[in-house]
Structure 1
Amino acid sequence: MASWLLDETIDAKAIDVIAKSDILRSEASMAMPALRAAALRPATESEVRDIIGSRFATYPQPERDTGETAAFWGDYFDALGGLTPAQIEAGMKAHVADPKSEFLPKPGRLADLARQSTSPGRWTRAYTRARAAVVQSQAMEQKPSEPVVRHSPDEVRAMVAETLAALSETPTAKALAARKAARKPTPSAPLPAGSHMSASMRAKLEAEGAILPAPHNQNHEHRQHGAAA
Protein backbone atom coordinates (compact mmCIF):
# COMPACT_ATOMS: atom_id res chain seq x y z
CA MET A 1 0.00 0.00 0.00
CA ALA A 2 2.86 2.39 0.80
CA SER A 3 3.97 2.43 -2.83
CA TRP A 4 0.49 3.49 -4.00
CA LEU A 5 0.19 6.15 -1.32
CA LEU A 6 3.71 7.56 -1.54
CA ASP A 7 5.42 6.54 -4.77
CA GLU A 8 2.80 6.49 -7.52
CA THR A 9 3.02 9.71 -9.55
CA ILE A 10 -0.61 9.83 -10.70
CA ASP A 11 -3.19 10.56 -7.98
CA ALA A 12 -6.18 9.17 -9.87
CA LYS A 13 -4.45 5.86 -10.55
CA ALA A 14 -3.38 5.37 -6.93
CA ILE A 15 -6.87 6.21 -5.64
CA ASP A 16 -8.56 3.87 -8.11
CA VAL A 17 -6.30 0.91 -7.31
CA ILE A 18 -6.73 1.30 -3.54
CA ALA A 19 -10.51 1.80 -3.83
CA LYS A 20 -10.96 -1.44 -5.81
CA SER A 21 -8.90 -3.59 -3.41
CA ASP A 22 -10.55 -4.65 -0.15
CA ILE A 23 -7.16 -5.23 1.48
CA LEU A 24 -5.59 -1.94 0.34
CA ARG A 25 -8.73 0.01 1.17
CA SER A 26 -8.86 -1.48 4.67
CA GLU A 27 -5.19 -0.68 5.26
CA ALA A 28 -5.65 2.84 3.94
CA SER A 29 -8.63 3.41 6.19
CA MET A 30 -6.73 2.26 9.28
CA ALA A 31 -3.69 4.35 8.32
CA MET A 32 -5.61 7.59 7.80
CA PRO A 33 -5.25 8.98 11.38
CA ALA A 34 -1.49 8.37 11.34
CA LEU A 35 -1.16 9.81 7.83
CA ARG A 36 -3.06 12.94 8.81
CA ALA A 37 -0.90 13.39 11.92
CA ALA A 38 2.23 13.05 9.78
CA ALA A 39 0.86 15.54 7.24
CA LEU A 40 0.18 18.18 9.90
CA ARG A 41 3.27 17.61 12.07
CA PRO A 42 5.21 20.86 12.56
CA ALA A 43 8.85 20.91 11.53
CA THR A 44 11.42 20.29 14.25
CA GLU A 45 14.30 22.70 14.84
CA SER A 46 16.63 20.16 13.23
CA GLU A 47 14.46 20.04 10.10
CA VAL A 48 14.35 23.85 9.93
CA ARG A 49 18.16 23.94 10.11
CA ASP A 50 18.47 21.29 7.38
CA ILE A 51 16.05 23.00 5.00
CA ILE A 52 17.59 26.45 5.37
CA GLY A 53 21.16 25.21 5.70
CA SER A 54 20.89 23.29 2.42
CA ARG A 55 20.75 26.69 0.67
CA PHE A 56 23.93 28.07 2.22
CA ALA A 57 25.84 27.08 -0.93
CA THR A 58 23.49 29.31 -2.95
CA TYR A 59 23.42 32.08 -0.35
CA PRO A 60 26.83 32.09 1.44
CA GLN A 61 26.65 33.17 5.07
CA PRO A 62 29.05 35.33 7.11
CA GLU A 63 30.99 34.01 10.07
CA ARG A 64 28.96 34.19 13.30
CA ASP A 65 29.96 33.71 16.91
CA THR A 66 27.97 31.47 19.24
CA GLY A 67 25.56 34.20 20.34
CA GLU A 68 24.95 35.43 16.80
CA THR A 69 24.32 31.89 15.60
CA ALA A 70 21.79 31.25 18.36
CA ALA A 71 19.98 34.51 17.55
CA PHE A 72 20.04 33.74 13.82
CA TRP A 73 18.35 30.35 14.21
CA GLY A 74 16.10 31.53 17.03
CA ASP A 75 14.42 34.04 14.73
CA TYR A 76 13.70 31.31 12.17
CA PHE A 77 12.38 28.90 14.82
CA ASP A 78 9.98 31.57 16.08
CA ALA A 79 8.78 32.67 12.64
CA LEU A 80 8.35 29.15 11.26
CA GLY A 81 6.82 27.58 14.36
CA GLY A 82 3.79 25.43 13.53
CA LEU A 83 4.63 25.08 9.83
CA THR A 84 5.33 21.66 8.35
CA PRO A 85 8.63 20.63 6.73
CA ALA A 86 6.85 20.45 3.36
CA GLN A 87 5.54 24.00 3.70
CA ILE A 88 8.96 25.40 4.67
CA GLU A 89 10.66 23.51 1.83
CA ALA A 90 8.08 24.84 -0.63
CA GLY A 91 8.65 28.36 0.71
CA MET A 92 12.40 28.03 0.20
CA LYS A 93 11.89 26.75 -3.36
CA ALA A 94 9.63 29.70 -4.13
CA HIS A 95 12.27 32.12 -2.82
CA VAL A 96 15.08 30.47 -4.80
CA ALA A 97 12.96 30.54 -7.96
CA ASP A 98 12.39 34.30 -7.60
CA PRO A 99 14.89 36.04 -9.94
CA LYS A 100 15.05 38.98 -7.54
CA SER A 101 16.26 36.86 -4.62
CA GLU A 102 19.90 37.64 -3.89
CA PHE A 103 20.11 36.67 -0.23
CA LEU A 104 18.70 34.09 2.15
CA PRO A 105 15.05 34.96 2.93
CA LYS A 106 14.35 36.74 6.20
CA PRO A 107 12.37 34.65 8.72
CA GLY A 108 9.14 36.56 8.14
CA ARG A 109 9.35 36.34 4.35
CA LEU A 110 10.07 32.62 4.46
CA ALA A 111 7.11 32.05 6.78
CA ASP A 112 4.86 34.05 4.45
CA LEU A 113 5.99 32.07 1.40
CA ALA A 114 5.52 28.81 3.29
CA ARG A 115 1.93 29.67 4.23
CA GLN A 116 1.11 30.65 0.66
CA SER A 117 2.36 27.36 -0.74
CA THR A 118 -0.22 24.98 -2.21
CA SER A 119 2.33 22.27 -2.93
CA PRO A 120 1.48 19.24 -0.76
CA GLY A 121 4.13 17.23 1.02
CA ARG A 122 4.34 13.48 0.56
CA TRP A 123 2.33 12.78 3.72
CA THR A 124 -0.40 15.25 2.76
CA ARG A 125 -0.64 13.55 -0.62
CA ALA A 126 -0.72 10.11 1.01
CA TYR A 127 -3.49 11.11 3.41
CA THR A 128 -5.50 12.67 0.58
CA ARG A 129 -5.17 9.53 -1.54
CA ALA A 130 -6.24 7.26 1.31
CA ARG A 131 -9.22 9.45 2.11
CA ALA A 132 -10.29 9.74 -1.53
CA ALA A 133 -10.00 5.96 -2.02
CA VAL A 134 -12.22 5.27 0.99
CA VAL A 135 -14.83 7.79 -0.19
CA GLN A 136 -14.77 6.31 -3.70
CA SER A 137 -15.15 2.75 -2.44
CA GLN A 138 -18.14 3.77 -0.28
CA ALA A 139 -19.80 5.31 -3.34
CA MET A 140 -19.20 2.07 -5.25
CA GLU A 141 -20.86 0.04 -2.51
CA GLN A 142 -23.90 2.30 -2.27
CA LYS A 143 -24.58 2.41 -6.03
CA PRO A 144 -23.01 -0.74 -7.51
CA SER A 145 -25.12 -0.64 -10.69
CA GLU A 146 -24.11 2.91 -11.65
CA PRO A 147 -20.83 3.94 -13.30
CA VAL A 148 -18.17 4.81 -10.78
CA VAL A 149 -17.53 8.55 -10.60
CA ARG A 150 -13.83 8.89 -9.88
CA HIS A 151 -12.23 11.92 -8.31
CA SER A 152 -11.07 14.48 -10.83
CA PRO A 153 -7.70 16.23 -10.43
CA ASP A 154 -9.55 19.36 -9.27
CA GLU A 155 -11.37 17.37 -6.56
CA VAL A 156 -8.10 15.85 -5.37
CA ARG A 157 -6.52 19.32 -5.23
CA ALA A 158 -9.51 20.56 -3.25
CA MET A 159 -8.97 17.75 -0.72
CA VAL A 160 -5.30 18.69 -0.46
CA ALA A 161 -6.23 22.34 0.14
CA GLU A 162 -8.67 21.27 2.84
CA THR A 163 -5.95 19.29 4.60
CA LEU A 164 -3.51 22.19 4.39
CA ALA A 165 -6.16 24.58 5.73
CA ALA A 166 -6.48 22.34 8.79
CA LEU A 167 -2.97 23.44 9.77
CA SER A 168 -4.34 26.62 11.29
CA GLU A 169 -6.63 24.57 13.53
CA THR A 170 -3.96 22.37 15.11
CA PRO A 171 -3.11 22.87 18.80
CA THR A 172 0.45 23.81 17.84
CA ALA A 173 -0.71 26.55 15.46
CA LYS A 174 -3.16 27.92 18.02
CA ALA A 175 -0.49 27.93 20.74
CA LEU A 176 1.88 29.80 18.42
CA ALA A 177 -0.77 32.41 17.64
CA ALA A 178 -1.44 32.88 21.34
CA ARG A 179 2.27 33.25 22.06
CA LYS A 180 2.64 35.90 19.36
CA ALA A 181 -0.41 37.77 20.66
CA ALA A 182 1.10 37.76 24.16
CA ARG A 183 4.18 39.53 22.81
CA LYS A 184 2.23 42.66 21.86
CA PRO A 185 3.38 45.68 23.89
CA THR A 186 1.13 46.50 26.81
CA PRO A 187 -0.22 50.04 27.21
CA SER A 188 1.72 52.21 29.64
CA ALA A 189 0.99 55.45 31.44
CA PRO A 190 1.91 58.63 29.52
CA LEU A 191 5.32 59.97 30.45
CA PRO A 192 5.69 63.56 31.67
CA ALA A 193 7.62 65.88 29.34
CA GLY A 194 11.37 65.42 29.72
CA SER A 195 11.00 62.31 31.90
CA HIS A 196 11.78 58.68 31.17
CA MET A 197 9.31 57.31 33.72
CA SER A 198 5.70 57.90 34.66
CA ALA A 199 4.72 60.20 37.54
CA SER A 200 3.41 57.28 39.59
CA MET A 201 6.65 55.32 39.14
CA ARG A 202 8.78 58.36 40.10
CA ALA A 203 6.65 58.97 43.20
CA LYS A 204 7.03 55.35 44.25
CA LEU A 205 10.82 55.38 43.83
CA GLU A 206 11.13 58.74 45.63
CA ALA A 207 9.08 57.43 48.56
CA GLU A 208 11.34 54.38 48.79
CA GLY A 209 14.45 56.60 48.70
CA ALA A 210 15.66 54.94 45.52
CA ILE A 211 15.99 58.27 43.69
CA LEU A 212 16.24 61.93 44.72
CA PRO A 213 13.14 64.10 44.45
CA ALA A 214 12.79 65.91 41.14
CA PRO A 215 13.97 69.56 41.21
CA HIS A 216 10.48 70.90 40.50
CA ASN A 217 9.20 69.00 43.54
CA GLN A 218 11.79 70.66 45.74
CA ASN A 219 10.92 74.15 44.39
CA HIS A 220 7.24 73.41 44.92
CA GLU A 221 7.88 72.38 48.53
CA HIS A 222 10.01 75.54 49.08
CA ARG A 223 7.23 77.78 47.80
CA GLN A 224 4.73 76.01 50.08
CA HIS A 225 7.00 76.56 53.15
CA GLY A 226 7.50 80.24 52.20
CA ALA A 227 3.77 80.79 51.92
CA ALA A 228 3.18 79.17 55.28
CA ALA A 229 5.79 81.48 56.90
Structure 2
Amino acid sequence: MKISGRCVPLPAEDGTGARVRILVVEDERRLAGMLAQGLREAGHDVDIRHTGSEGLLAAATGRYDAVALDIMLPGLDGTQVCRTLRQHGNHVPVLMLTTRGEVPDRVAGLDAGADDYLAKPFSFDELLARLRALYRRSALPQPSEVRAGDLLLDPPRRRVFRGEAEIDLSAREFDILTLLMARAGECLTRYQILDEVWDGETDLRSNVIDVHIATLRAKVDKPFGRHAIETLRGVGYRLRPDGG
Protein backbone atom coordinates (compact mmCIF):
# COMPACT_ATOMS: atom_id res chain seq x y z
CA MET A 1 0.00 0.00 0.00
CA LYS A 2 1.23 3.46 -0.82
CA ILE A 3 1.18 5.89 2.05
CA SER A 4 1.77 9.43 0.99
CA GLY A 5 1.20 12.99 2.06
CA ARG A 6 2.55 15.79 4.13
CA CYS A 7 3.50 14.82 7.66
CA VAL A 8 1.29 16.55 10.25
CA PRO A 9 2.53 15.17 13.57
CA LEU A 10 0.67 14.36 16.73
CA PRO A 11 1.66 16.41 19.77
CA ALA A 12 5.11 15.07 20.67
CA GLU A 13 4.29 15.24 24.38
CA ASP A 14 1.13 14.97 26.47
CA GLY A 15 1.71 18.14 28.46
CA THR A 16 3.53 16.34 31.28
CA GLY A 17 6.73 15.78 29.32
CA ALA A 18 5.82 12.20 28.45
CA ARG A 19 6.15 11.15 24.81
CA VAL A 20 3.09 9.92 22.97
CA ARG A 21 3.13 6.12 22.62
CA ILE A 22 1.39 4.44 19.70
CA LEU A 23 0.76 0.71 19.23
CA VAL A 24 0.46 -0.49 15.61
CA VAL A 25 -1.15 -3.92 15.20
CA GLU A 26 -0.87 -4.88 11.54
CA ASP A 27 -0.02 -8.25 9.95
CA GLU A 28 1.23 -6.73 6.69
CA ARG A 29 4.82 -6.29 7.79
CA ARG A 30 5.79 -3.83 5.09
CA LEU A 31 2.82 -1.59 5.89
CA ALA A 32 3.47 -1.88 9.63
CA GLY A 33 7.08 -0.85 9.09
CA MET A 34 6.09 2.14 6.98
CA LEU A 35 3.57 3.32 9.55
CA ALA A 36 6.04 2.92 12.39
CA GLN A 37 8.75 4.79 10.48
CA GLY A 38 6.43 7.69 9.70
CA LEU A 39 5.17 7.94 13.28
CA ARG A 40 8.71 7.80 14.66
CA GLU A 41 9.83 10.51 12.27
CA ALA A 42 6.93 12.58 13.61
CA GLY A 43 8.49 12.24 17.07
CA HIS A 44 6.52 9.42 18.67
CA ASP A 45 7.31 6.13 20.35
CA VAL A 46 5.92 3.19 18.39
CA ASP A 47 5.58 -0.52 19.07
CA ILE A 48 4.56 -3.04 16.39
CA ARG A 49 2.69 -6.33 16.74
CA HIS A 50 1.67 -8.61 13.87
CA THR A 51 -1.06 -10.86 15.33
CA GLY A 52 -4.23 -10.28 17.28
CA SER A 53 -3.02 -12.14 20.37
CA GLU A 54 0.26 -10.20 20.40
CA GLY A 55 -1.60 -6.93 19.95
CA LEU A 56 -4.05 -7.75 22.75
CA LEU A 57 -1.25 -8.59 25.16
CA ALA A 58 0.67 -5.43 24.31
CA ALA A 59 -2.39 -3.15 24.60
CA ALA A 60 -3.48 -4.80 27.85
CA THR A 61 -0.11 -4.61 29.56
CA GLY A 62 1.41 -1.44 28.05
CA ARG A 63 0.50 2.21 28.53
CA TYR A 64 -0.40 3.53 25.08
CA ASP A 65 -1.99 6.81 24.05
CA ALA A 66 -3.59 5.28 20.94
CA VAL A 67 -3.75 2.00 19.00
CA ALA A 68 -3.89 1.61 15.21
CA LEU A 69 -5.53 -1.81 14.89
CA ASP A 70 -6.02 -3.77 11.65
CA ILE A 71 -9.36 -5.58 11.54
CA MET A 72 -8.04 -8.54 9.49
CA LEU A 73 -5.46 -10.24 11.71
CA PRO A 74 -4.36 -13.88 12.02
CA GLY A 75 -5.84 -15.61 15.05
CA LEU A 76 -7.86 -13.03 16.93
CA ASP A 77 -9.14 -10.40 14.51
CA GLY A 78 -9.21 -6.69 15.30
CA THR A 79 -12.85 -6.76 16.36
CA GLN A 80 -12.17 -9.49 18.91
CA VAL A 81 -9.09 -7.68 20.20
CA CYS A 82 -10.98 -4.42 20.69
CA ARG A 83 -13.99 -6.09 22.30
CA THR A 84 -11.77 -7.96 24.77
CA LEU A 85 -9.96 -4.76 25.75
CA ARG A 86 -13.25 -2.98 26.42
CA GLN A 87 -14.66 -5.91 28.38
CA HIS A 88 -11.66 -5.64 30.69
CA GLY A 89 -12.06 -1.90 31.21
CA ASN A 90 -9.27 -0.79 28.89
CA HIS A 91 -10.37 2.40 27.13
CA VAL A 92 -7.25 3.23 25.13
CA PRO A 93 -8.34 5.08 21.93
CA VAL A 94 -8.54 2.60 19.04
CA LEU A 95 -8.41 3.47 15.34
CA MET A 96 -9.55 0.45 13.31
CA LEU A 97 -7.79 -0.07 9.97
CA THR A 98 -9.93 -1.94 7.47
CA THR A 99 -10.33 -2.72 3.79
CA ARG A 100 -14.05 -3.15 4.33
CA GLY A 101 -16.23 -0.22 3.33
CA GLU A 102 -19.73 -1.50 3.98
CA VAL A 103 -21.78 -0.01 6.83
CA PRO A 104 -22.38 -3.37 8.61
CA ASP A 105 -18.63 -3.96 8.85
CA ARG A 106 -18.03 -0.46 10.22
CA VAL A 107 -20.85 -0.95 12.72
CA ALA A 108 -19.31 -4.25 13.87
CA GLY A 109 -16.00 -2.52 14.59
CA LEU A 110 -17.67 0.37 16.41
CA ASP A 111 -19.87 -2.01 18.39
CA ALA A 112 -16.71 -3.78 19.52
CA GLY A 113 -15.53 -0.50 21.04
CA ALA A 114 -13.41 1.07 18.30
CA ASP A 115 -13.41 4.86 18.40
CA ASP A 116 -12.89 5.50 14.70
CA TYR A 117 -12.09 3.62 11.51
CA LEU A 118 -9.93 4.27 8.47
CA ALA A 119 -10.41 2.36 5.22
CA LYS A 120 -7.42 1.17 3.20
CA PRO A 121 -5.83 2.58 1.16
CA PHE A 122 -5.34 5.75 3.16
CA SER A 123 -2.94 8.68 3.24
CA PHE A 124 -0.45 8.99 6.06
CA ASP A 125 -1.75 12.52 6.68
CA GLU A 126 -5.20 11.17 7.42
CA LEU A 127 -3.87 8.47 9.74
CA LEU A 128 -2.00 11.13 11.71
CA ALA A 129 -5.05 13.40 11.82
CA ARG A 130 -7.29 10.62 13.12
CA LEU A 131 -4.77 9.54 15.78
CA ARG A 132 -4.12 13.15 16.74
CA ALA A 133 -7.85 13.76 17.25
CA LEU A 134 -8.27 10.59 19.32
CA TYR A 135 -5.30 11.38 21.53
CA ARG A 136 -6.22 15.04 21.99
CA ARG A 137 -9.76 14.23 23.12
CA SER A 138 -8.62 11.56 25.56
CA ALA A 139 -6.24 14.08 27.18
CA LEU A 140 -8.85 16.82 27.71
CA PRO A 141 -10.16 17.54 31.23
CA GLN A 142 -13.63 16.10 31.77
CA PRO A 143 -16.75 18.00 32.92
CA SER A 144 -18.76 17.04 35.99
CA GLU A 145 -21.61 14.52 36.09
CA VAL A 146 -24.35 15.07 33.50
CA ARG A 147 -27.97 13.85 33.65
CA ALA A 148 -30.93 13.67 31.27
CA GLY A 149 -33.80 11.91 33.00
CA ASP A 150 -32.51 8.51 34.16
CA LEU A 151 -29.58 8.73 31.75
CA LEU A 152 -26.44 9.48 33.73
CA LEU A 153 -23.01 10.37 32.35
CA ASP A 154 -19.94 10.19 34.61
CA PRO A 155 -17.13 11.81 32.53
CA PRO A 156 -14.25 11.45 35.04
CA ARG A 157 -14.74 7.68 35.10
CA ARG A 158 -16.16 7.55 31.55
CA ARG A 159 -19.19 5.55 32.66
CA VAL A 160 -22.81 5.72 31.49
CA PHE A 161 -25.95 4.47 33.25
CA ARG A 162 -29.64 4.08 32.47
CA GLY A 163 -31.08 3.95 35.94
CA GLU A 164 -29.11 1.19 37.65
CA ALA A 165 -27.92 -0.42 34.41
CA GLU A 166 -24.41 0.46 33.24
CA ILE A 167 -23.93 0.86 29.47
CA ASP A 168 -20.65 0.04 27.75
CA LEU A 169 -19.74 2.67 25.15
CA SER A 170 -16.70 3.15 22.95
CA ALA A 171 -14.71 6.32 23.56
CA ARG A 172 -16.15 7.92 20.42
CA GLU A 173 -19.72 7.02 21.37
CA PHE A 174 -19.06 8.44 24.82
CA ASP A 175 -17.82 11.73 23.35
CA ILE A 176 -20.89 12.06 21.10
CA LEU A 177 -23.26 11.34 24.00
CA THR A 178 -21.38 13.84 26.16
CA LEU A 179 -21.92 16.52 23.52
CA LEU A 180 -25.60 15.67 23.05
CA MET A 181 -26.27 15.63 26.80
CA ALA A 182 -24.34 18.83 27.46
CA ARG A 183 -26.58 20.55 24.90
CA ALA A 184 -29.77 18.56 25.53
CA GLY A 185 -32.81 19.94 23.71
CA GLU A 186 -30.64 21.68 21.14
CA CYS A 187 -30.40 20.43 17.57
CA LEU A 188 -26.82 19.74 16.55
CA THR A 189 -25.99 19.55 12.87
CA ARG A 190 -23.66 16.89 11.52
CA TYR A 191 -21.10 19.66 10.88
CA GLN A 192 -21.27 20.73 14.54
CA ILE A 193 -20.75 17.16 15.73
CA LEU A 194 -17.81 16.79 13.37
CA ASP A 195 -16.28 20.00 14.61
CA GLU A 196 -16.73 19.17 18.31
CA VAL A 197 -16.03 15.43 18.37
CA TRP A 198 -13.85 14.84 15.31
CA ASP A 199 -12.30 18.32 15.24
CA GLY A 200 -13.55 18.56 11.66
CA GLU A 201 -11.03 15.96 10.52
CA THR A 202 -13.42 13.27 9.22
CA ASP A 203 -14.92 13.30 5.74
CA LEU A 204 -18.63 14.05 6.11
CA ARG A 205 -19.37 11.86 3.10
CA SER A 206 -18.22 8.77 4.98
CA ASN A 207 -21.46 8.67 7.01
CA VAL A 208 -19.33 8.07 10.09
CA ILE A 209 -21.69 10.16 12.24
CA ASP A 210 -24.75 8.19 11.12
CA VAL A 211 -22.99 4.94 11.98
CA HIS A 212 -22.03 6.14 15.46
CA ILE A 213 -25.49 7.53 16.16
CA ALA A 214 -27.00 4.18 15.14
CA THR A 215 -24.75 2.23 17.51
CA LEU A 216 -25.34 4.77 20.28
CA ARG A 217 -29.11 4.40 19.95
CA ALA A 218 -28.76 0.63 19.99
CA LYS A 219 -27.08 0.90 23.39
CA VAL A 220 -28.73 3.79 25.27
CA ASP A 221 -32.25 3.75 23.80
CA LYS A 222 -33.40 0.51 22.20
CA PRO A 223 -32.78 -1.93 25.11
CA PHE A 224 -34.74 0.38 27.42
CA GLY A 225 -37.61 1.19 25.06
CA ARG A 226 -36.53 4.84 24.90
CA HIS A 227 -36.17 7.40 22.12
CA ALA A 228 -33.83 9.97 23.65
CA ILE A 229 -31.77 10.61 20.52
CA GLU A 230 -33.97 12.23 17.89
CA THR A 231 -33.26 12.78 14.20
CA LEU A 232 -34.40 16.04 12.68
CA ARG A 233 -34.39 15.19 9.00
CA GLY A 234 -32.19 17.44 6.92
CA VAL A 235 -30.97 19.23 10.05
CA GLY A 236 -29.22 16.99 12.57
CA TYR A 237 -29.68 15.27 15.93
CA ARG A 238 -31.08 16.21 19.31
CA LEU A 239 -31.19 14.56 22.73
CA ARG A 240 -34.38 14.96 24.72
CA PRO A 241 -33.74 16.69 28.09
CA ASP A 242 -35.94 14.10 29.83
CA GLY A 243 -33.73 11.29 28.56
CA GLY A 244 -36.43 9.83 26.33
Higher share of residues assigned helix: 1
Structure with the greater alpha carbon radius of gyration? 1
* Structure having the larger proportion of residues in strand: 2
Q: TM-score, normalised by structure 1?
A: 0.24
User: Which of the pair has the greater relative contact order for Cα pairs under 8 Å at 6+ separation?
Assistant: 1
TM-score by length of 2: 0.23
